[in-house]
Chain A
Amino acid sequence: MAAEAPTASRPRLGLGLGGRWTRFTVRRGGRLLVSLFVLVTAAFLMIHLVPGDPVRAALGTTAPADLVEARRHELGLDDPLLTQYLNYLGGLFRGDLGESIQTQLPVGETIGRRLGATVSLGLLAFALALLIAVPLGVAVAVATRRGRRQRTSLGFASGSVVIGSIPDFLIGVVLVAVFAVGLGWLPVAGREDGAASYVLPVLALAIGPAAVLARIVRVEMTSVLESDHVRTARAKRLPARRIHLVHALPNAVTATLTLGGMLLASMVAGTVLVENVFAWPGLGSKIVESIVTKDYPVVQGTVLVYGVIVLVVNTLVDVALTLLDPRSTIGEA
């Protein structure tokens, strides 16, 4: 019998892994560059969008005029806007994030000292959220598919909505009240007690996102379990474990990761609040302090660093997506 008749949609057999990755790198890299440009420009403009004179606002109405003028000059605020922008970009390339208006310390140094605390907090919390959410979501989806175990289903649905609705800083306050103040098991605040001091902040940051993520995993998994190819896998009479973990899960992870990536990014931002609850010496407590004291260069630098972290996270998620789902072509994401 003759082979396939030619059709307009030719099978794309020749499309190797190499081609896919080249295309991915070009598209994703392009988007990353544009995002970076938007981020840097926004950070730069932030200081200029503040109504009135930022230096005057920062130093207060009582500051002598010549001091304000001197600071303005140091910051280069009396140059034309384009010159300032180019100087700012040039500074970024040298790793120079400017100087604090209040303390005159280099912003880069301040951030460098605090970055580790924030990143370790965020990564641990994300890992914990994943560890809770994925197995839980999968288990609930399998247990409750096709209307089985209505009570489990209802309990999970309402539980995850309730927990997901509690802001992480409130969870933090409750955890402090119970485990630090009430029971005295763990430190109330700070990062001086090593591993013990991590427990509560990480929990506070992870619980809410874990609930939301578990919900997403469950919904995605439930719909994948109904799909045609899972029916095919069942028609092959494969063991249940293999059907759920090898055939269903990877297809649910694709959609989950897309949403989970945004969740991870929001966890990065969530550190701001949690750090303030636990007086955590990270970027989050610094940025709030700087917004209140109107130390714009510090805010600018911190926002930039947070933004870069988010962009890195998003890029990693897209890489993972491409690894997991051979079809994914980034772009609309």
Chain B
Amino acid sequence: MSLRFEQVSVRFGRTQVLHDVSLDVPAGTIVGLVGESGSGKSTLAKAAVGLVPVSGGHIVIENSQVDGVPAGRRTNPGVQMVFQDPYSSLDPRMSVGESIAEAMPGRPSRAERTNEVARLLDLVHLDPGRAGQRPASLSGGQRQRVALARALAGKPKVLIADEITSALDVSVQGAVLNLVREMQRELGLSMLFISHNLAVVRYVADTVAVMSQGRIVEHGPTVDVLEHPTHDYTRELLAAVPGGTSHTPKKET
């Protein structure tokens, strides 16, 4: 088990956002998490990385319990996260290389940092020469790849991707999805892949969990869940996919 949620509950004040959520992300697999806005997907992600306190249950990463340890106090994070908005996820005053190097564990020397940054940029198909550039000179898709490289710099056991393609144009979305699949194949990465887009999840995930109103209502191999849904809510979601295909929200600017 790489990442395990055991009966996790989260409350914000009087409202309970997650109800006894249990979910496994086994090593080397991509688990897709789908559901509508407000269903609790993002809260689950934030709970895993310690940005949101857990009010009940446990979160276990490679047999060590991490709930109750807020982000920033964790000695080895174990989990890294990539966010939805590429324009908010990189510090505009830091070069791409600095942002990536910051996530590296331990105290690497300058040379180690430079080499590792170059390696990671290459890994996400960006020219290592871009390490000195500021995020402002990058497109949305390129920023998302830098964010991915930064997450990988933390040498995570598990990566959480929270709607990483929903702010991107369709022509760029494909490139990021291809990259995600490639990473998993080549690095054996474990990943919790959150999206509201069933077609996207279908394309990258080995198993799918469906979330509704703070509960996981269905979880199984992607093919089974999407072709033979057992829960009413999953069926409703599938029926709503336009033209039996997908849709991808993003804003026209």
Spell out A's residues near B (CB within 8 Å).
Answer: 5-9
Which chain B residues (24-46) contact chain A, with CB distance < 8 Å?
A: 36-40
Q: Which residues of B contact A9 (CB under 8 A)?
A: 37-38
The 10 closest A-B pairs by CB, nearest first: A8-B38, A9-B38, A8-B213, A7-B38, A8-B39, A7-B36, A5-B236, A8-B214, A8-B40, A7-B37
**A9 to B213 CA separation, bound complex (whole angstroms):** 10
Main DSSP-derived SS at the B contact region: loop
Q: Which residues of B contact A7 (CB under 8 A)?
A: 36-38
A–B Cβ pairs within 8 angstroms, 14 of them: A5-B236, A6-B213, A7-B36, A7-B37, A7-B38, A8-B36, A8-B37, A8-B38, A8-B39, A8-B40, A8-B213, A8-B214, A9-B37, A9-B38
Contact flags (1/0) for B230-249 with A, using CB distance below 8 Å?
00000010000000000000
Q: Which residue of B lies closest to A9 (CB)?
A: B38
**A6 to B213 CA separation, bound complex (whole angstroms):** 9
Q: Which residues of A contact B213 (CB under 8 A)?
A: 6, 8
**A7 to B37 CA separation, bound complex (whole angstroms):** 8
Which chain B residues (184-232) contact chain A, with CB distance < 8 Å?
A: 213-214
Q: How far, in Å, is A295 (CB) from chain B's closest CB?
A: 50
Interface size counted on chain B using CB atoms at 8 A: 8
**A35 to B214 CA separation, bound complex (whole angstroms):** 40
Q: Which residues of A contact B236 (CB under 8 A)?
A: 5
**A6 to B37 CA separation, bound complex (whole angstroms):** 12
**A8 to B38 CA separation, bound complex (whole angstroms):** 5
* Additional A-B contact list (5), CB under 8 Å, known A7-B36, A7-B38, A8-B214: A7-B37, A8-B36, A8-B39, A8-B213, A9-B38
Q: Which residues of A contact B39 (CB under 8 A)?
A: 8
Q: How far, in Å, is A72 (CB) from chain B's closest CB?
A: 52
Q: How far, in Å, is A166 (CB) from chain B's closest CB?
A: 37
Q: Which residue of A lies closest to B214 (CB)?
A: A8
Q: How far, in Å, is B236 (CB) from chain A's closest CB?
A: 7
Q: Which residues of B contact A6 (CB under 8 A)?
A: 213
Q: Which residues of A contact B40 (CB under 8 A)?
A: 8
Which chain B residues (149-191) contact chain A, with CB distance < 8 Å?
A: none
**A8 to B211 CA separation, bound complex (whole angstroms):** 12
**A161 to B37 CA separation, bound complex (whole angstroms):** 45
Q: How far, in Å, is A238 (CB) from chain B's closest CB?
A: 25
**A7 to B236 CA separation, bound complex (whole angstroms):** 13
Q: Which residue of A lies closest to B40 (CB)?
A: A8
Q: Which residues of A contact B38 (CB under 8 A)?
A: 7-9
Q: Which residue of B lies closest to A10 (CB)?
A: B38
Q: Which residue of B lies closest to A8 (CB)?
A: B38
Q: How far, in Å, is B210 (CB) from chain A's closest CB?
A: 14
For A5, A8, A9, which residue has the most chain B Cβ atoms within 10 angstroms? Answer: A8
Q: Which residues of B contact A8 (CB under 8 A)?
A: 36-40, 213-214
**A257 to B153 CA separation, bound complex (whole angstroms):** 48
Q: How far, in Å, is A161 (CB) from chain B's closest CB?
A: 29
**A6 to B233 CA separation, bound complex (whole angstroms):** 11
Q: Which residues of A contact B37 (CB under 8 A)?
A: 7-9
Q: Which residue of A lies closest to B236 (CB)?
A: A5
**A131 to B169 CA separation, bound complex (whole angstroms):** 49
**A7 to B211 CA separation, bound complex (whole angstroms):** 12
**A7 to B237 CA separation, bound complex (whole angstroms):** 13
Q: Which residue of A lies closest to B213 (CB)?
A: A8
**A184 to B40 CA separation, bound complex (whole angstroms):** 74
**A18 to B213 CA separation, bound complex (whole angstroms):** 29
Q: How far, in Å, is A308 (CB) from chain B's closest CB?
A: 33
**A91 to B213 CA separation, bound complex (whole angstroms):** 57
Q: How far, in Å, is A15 (CB) from chain B's closest CB?
A: 15
Q: How far, in Å, is B52 (CB) from chain A's closest CB?
A: 16
**A7 to B196 CA separation, bound complex (whole angstroms):** 14
**A309 to B236 CA separation, bound complex (whole angstroms):** 59
Q: Which residue of B lies closest to A5 (CB)?
A: B236
Q: Which residue of A lies closest to B240 (CB)?
A: A5
**A135 to B38 CA separation, bound complex (whole angstroms):** 42
Q: How far, in Å, is B123 (CB) from chain A's closest CB?
A: 37
Q: How far, in Å, is A186 (CB) from chain B's closest CB?
A: 56
**A8 to B43 CA separation, bound complex (whole angstroms):** 13
**A277 to B160 CA separation, bound complex (whole angstroms):** 66
